[in-house]
Structure 1
Amino acid sequence: MSIEIRRATGAEVADYLEDAARLRISVFREFPYLYDGDVASERDYLGHYVECPRSVFVIAICDGRVRGVSTGLPLAEADESFQAPFLGADLAPSEWFYCGESVLDHAWRGKGIGHRFFDEREAHARELGLVKTCFCSVKREVGHPLFPEAYRPNDVFWTKRGYLKRPDLSARFVWKQVDSAGEEQNELVFWTRDKA
């Protein structure tokens, strides 16, 4: 089966909010995020992309069904919590494009779609005149009780794409976790690439 990759921007992303929410809840429930999400929280979070005219959703579709979604927007238009580490390091958020999440059904992983997600978001950033791109990933220790034996982090994939892990740029976010009765604070470390 072939998969179609398409882009939606600004208000157009509203057509894909339910799919993005469904995939985020499902994929981020897995290690390392361990996110115990709900639709209301997802609508709240993803609604910001609808309000931002320069946002993008890259959508992977097969047989009329959304199998994956990857998001992005200029860092200067992202939540202040994402901007804060850059401001603290004297890096102007206005020069950066923030690649948000990439969530993909299991059956479609390992087929090059992750590269397409980055290609499309980076192309969108260049169209906006932004050549510096960044994203962040949750920090989990190897000794975490839910660390899966077969878990393979994406560090090699990201490094091959030219991204550099930046432990000096990190943000803290709180979310409800599958391994906790309530919300937990989590550290997310940024990865940056400062060329087109």
Structure 2
Amino acid sequence: MPTADQTRSLTFDVLQDDFGPALDEVARLRLELFREFPYLYEGTAESEAEYLRTYALAPGALLVLARDGERVVGACTAVPLEHEVEELQAPFRAAGLDPAQVLYIGEALLETEYQSRGLGGELLDRAEAQAAALNLPLIAAAMVQRPADHPLMPAGWRSPRKFVERRGYVMRPELDTTLTWQEVGEAQPSPKPMRFWVLERGRGSAV
């Protein structure tokens, strides 16, 4: 496990337009960390390449990497919601909100031994700043919803809900949607319930 001094020595790269091989690092982290509860994601290199193509092609997309020396140990992605899949855009339009005015945080990932050290906040600080750069008033993040008695929930697991709410994000159940992926143990992909938390820029920690 890294010491406090080691985590203070981490560096952060903020990339736009040309992500290059950095997307491979995001794919690696997604395949590793999203396989765990609550996402239980059974991903493949092919599905990751398709998903991350959004960030490679979308105007305004941003990638933040956390490095310990040369090794990438964390990543956060952000993109204007209008460039994301229809399942994520549709509930905003139904609520009278323009996806072109929303910065969507795709994921904020840290290798397990680097979690609970304040580094997730540092990743999000840099990603949320993109909303100010693009003059977008809203920032949104979505989380999969699991029952409290889910059989695969590890003992002591903590939802990231309190973390994002401390940053000013507000739960918005009226924006509920579904995303489809293959879960560990599933024979086929199936829809999973997703809930949004939304931050109004200037009311939380966003720059």
- TM-score calculated relative to the size of structure 2: 0.91
**Shift in Å, 1:24:** 0.1
**Shift in Å, 1:182:** 2.0
Amino acid in structure 1 at the alignment position of 2:15: A
Q: Residue 129 of structure 1 corresponds to which residue in structure 2?
A: 135
What is the aligned-residue identity percentage?
Answer: 35
1:185-196 to 2 correspondences below 5 Å? 185-196=191-202
**Shift in Å, 1:77:** 1.9
Structure 2 portions without partners, runs of 5+ = 1-5, 203-207
**Shift in Å, 1:121:** 1.1
SS of 1:142's partner is: coil
1:86 and 2:92 correspond: yes
Structure 1 portions without partners, runs of 5+ = none
1:155 and 2:161 correspond: yes
- d(CA) in 2 for partners of 1:129 and 1:70? 19
Deviations 1:106-144 (A, max 9, x none): 111112111011111111110111131001000000111
- d(CA) in 2 for partners of 1:191 and 1:126? 18
**In the alignment, is the contact (CA less than 8 A) between 2:168 and 2:199 conserved in 1?**
yes
- d(CA) in 1 for partners of 2:180 and 2:105? 20
User: What's the Cα RMSD here?
Assistant: 1.1
SS of 1:182's partner is: coil
- d(CA) in 1 for partners of 2:166 and 2:185? 32
Deviant stretches of 4+, over 2 Å:
none
- d(CA) in 1 for partners of 2:72 and 2:196? 27
Q: Residue 13 of structure 2 corresponds to which residue in structure 1?
A: 6
- TM-score calculated relative to the size of structure 1: 0.96
